[in-house]
Structure 1
Amino acid sequence: MTAEERFFCADAARMRGDPMEGTAPHGSVWVLIEYRGGWPANGFDGLDLEPRTKAVLFSAAQAVRARILLVRRYGRHKPEGTRRWAVLRHEKSGAHRQQWGTWSRDEDLAQIVGALGAPGQLGRPPVVLVCAHGRHDTCCAVRGRPVGRALSDRWPDLVWECTHVGGDRFAANVAVAPDGVYYGGLDAGSSVEAVEQHLADRIHADHLRGYTDLFPPQQVAVAALLRRFGPAGRHEYAVAETTRDGTHWRIRVIRHPPRPAAFDVEVRSYRTTPHQLTCRGPAMSSAVVHEVTSIRTAERPRPLS
């Protein structure tokens, strides 16, 4: 294959018009491990760490369905020296908690096991994660690294490059944790605008993939309301009820003050025609798409007594 014929999944997804809304992976706990060396294609799983420590950490993360991401600051850094780790948690109450530590030996990473069971700290600024995992997917590096540079120049203390976060074809991908918000289809300019608005608690539908505490049809319902009524705070909309009838969903979404309201959002799910969805995987796969078919104003919720 010549350079002109080389396949880039993100280019193909844009040409097809693949919808991003409803594609954020479900989850509310993230483990970050600073690793400045080369990242294996399969991320943490491929690291040559002390076996027992690695097994214990993996088991503890799996027990709480935490996603383990390798992270590094943008630019070149010496691989040795003290590095950082973090446990980020989005609680059902909406609270955002973080616990940070350092490691220099593999065995030090066992501290993360205890942190996964600890409450963590409130009030810390969010972490902005930019997928730049080129060994996993070419588009993640080609599109992710310029975004990593732009965001790092603006917010050097908040931004980390990271391993695979899902949705290669939507590169550049940015995940904000523990807020649990995924953005995609970004470039250097749009990423700065999206993160700037996010930090001001004004989430826009543009480039939004979804909220990770919601399932895909729920993510699409909230995104549709953001698109119709404009940007809103991270917790301004809440899913109150979800019912399903085959491929059709009805999702009741409550809007909290300052503009309280309730909406019933109808969503239809279907599978697309198979396509090559990643740069590395030549197999043809179909994707599930969730499409909003109607939005109706529902009876306003009564105030809590």
Structure 2
Amino acid sequence: MTPPERFFCADAARARDDAFAGTAPYGSVWVLIEYRSSWPANGFDGVALDPETKALVFSAARASRARVLLIRRHGRRRPEGSGRWAVLRHDGSGVLRQQWGVWHRDQDLVRIVAALDSPGEPGRSPVVLVCAHGMHDACCAVRGRPVGAALSARWPDRVWECTHVGGDRFAANVVVVPDGVYYGNLDARSAVAVVEEHLADRIRADHLRGYTTLHPPQQAAVAAVIGRYGPAGRHDYTATATVLGKDGWHVRVSSRGPHVREYDVEVWGRRTPPHRLTCRGPANSSAPVYEVTSIRDR
């Protein structure tokens, strides 16, 4: 008897042509912890760290609405030497801040608690995260690790592999922090091009899942404006007004600079028919989709 063909959620999502604009999880603070041992399926929650230290970090991160991710360099599983940790934030004014430290013992990670209460330093280079969390979802490893290899070869000091960032079916996923920009459906070649453009402050819509500082309908609206009018800097557009009506969301997108332009974007939300959305989850479920139905230049 022929065994059933193995299911890969990213292959299925591409076959369905799943929409990914508006799928970036909301948030503006990230905690990164270098962890070279195997990553459990539930990431930081499952690592074997000192329980008191772990509880303090988890509580502080939750209070700051920060996402905790384990990180490692591609292809480097050295058990020796100190690890690094970081707190990165995109503050309300749009300033990007980072604070980095090292840890030798589990208890050293308590310094993250104080870092979450401090503003951090501006002006540091952004960090490029590639989800390669195979224990969470097979596609994250199958598609993420080749992307991690390609990006690490180009930017070895900026790129880290990381645990689950959300949206397994859009693997390979890349997140630039603290910019707060999610990209999906990448391969090794497209990832290098996307990150190169991002670092030059030219964001394109092709692989853009969204900005984490915006809510899903706003993410979809900004992505649609970029798609129509061309690449833009991270802070060239902002959602200045969002109203939910009977026919969906009405999002006002404004440009920044000496010549301000405004666009009225209509966004319709719906849910997909039930599908198997992840490799590990056998149950079918539906997902929200945000479709832009019109863009009007004011």
* Alignment match, 2:295: 295
Counterpart check, 1:36 vs 2:36: yes
The whole-number CA distance in structure 2 between the counterparts of 1:97 and 1:247 is: 39
The whole-number CA distance in structure 2 between the counterparts of 1:256 and 1:274 is: 40
TM superposition shift of 1:260: 2.2
The whole-number CA distance in structure 2 between the counterparts of 1:126 and 1:64 is: 20
* Alignment match, 1:179: 179
Q: What is the identity, as a one-letter code, of the residue corresponding to 2:63?
A: A
Question: Unaligned stretches of 5+ in structure 2?
Answer: none
Q: What is the identity, as a one-letter code, of the residue corresponding to 2:85?
A: W
Question: Unaligned stretches of 5+ in structure 1?
Answer: 299-305
Please show how residues 4-153 of structure 1 align to structure 2 within 5 Å. 5-153=5-153
Q: What is the identity, as a one-letter code, of the residue corresponding to 2:284?
A: M
CA contact (8 A) 1:34 1:83 kept: yes
Please show how residues 124-273 of structure 1 align to structure 2 within 5 Å. 124-246=124-246, 248-257=248-257, 259-273=259-273
The whole-number CA distance in structure 2 between the counterparts of 1:258 and 1:158 is: 32
RMSD of equivalent CA atoms: 1.2
* Stretch of structure 1 that moved more, 77-86 or 234-243: 77-86
The whole-number CA distance in structure 1 between the counterparts of 2:246 and 2:87 is: 37
TM superposition shift of 1:78: 1.5
TM-score for the superposition, normalised by structure 1 = 0.96
Q: What is the identity, as a one-letter code, of the residue corresponding to 2:274?
A: P
TM-score for the superposition, normalised by structure 2 = 0.98
TM superposition shift of 1:77: 2.5
Q: What is the identity, as a one-letter code, of the residue corresponding to 1:88?
A: L
Compared CA separation, residues 218 and 51, structure 1 to 2 (3 A): same
Q: What is the identity, as a one-letter code, of the residue corresponding to 1:40?
A: P
Secondary structure of 2:251's counterpart equals strand
* Alignment match, 1:301: none
* Stretch of structure 1 that moved more, 181-190 or 254-263: 254-263
* Alignment match, 1:280: 280
The whole-number CA distance in structure 1 between the counterparts of 2:70 and 2:258 is: 39
Secondary structure of 2:121's counterpart equals coil
Aligned residue pairs total 298
Q: What is the identity, as a one-letter code, of the residue corresponding to 2:154?
A: R
Residues 53-83 of structure 1: CA deviation (Å, up to 9, x unaligned):
1001100000011000000000132223200
* Alignment match, 1:303: none
Compared CA separation, residues 123 and 165, structure 1 to 2 (3 A): same
The whole-number CA distance in structure 2 between the counterparts of 1:161 and 1:4 is: 31
Secondary structure of 1:276's counterpart equals coil
TM superposition shift of 1:245: 1.7
Q: What is the identity, as a one-letter code, of the residue corresponding to 2:275?
A: H
Secondary structure of 1:268's counterpart equals strand
The whole-number CA distance in structure 2 between the counterparts of 1:184 and 1:265 is: 23
Q: What is the identity, as a one-letter code, of the residue corresponding to 1:27?
A: G
Q: What is the identity, as a one-letter code, of the residue corresponding to 1:43?
A: G
The whole-number CA distance in structure 2 between the counterparts of 1:119 and 1:135 is: 34
- Runs of at least 4 residues off by over 3 Å: 1-4
The whole-number CA distance in structure 2 between the counterparts of 1:258 and 1:72 is: 42
CA contact (8 A) 1:247 1:270 kept: no
Residues 173-193 of structure 1: CA deviation (Å, up to 9, x unaligned):
000000000000000000000
* Stretch of structure 1 that moved more, 85-94 or 75-84: 75-84
The whole-number CA distance in structure 1 between the counterparts of 2:79 and 2:128 is: 22
CA contact (8 A) 1:35 1:79 kept: no
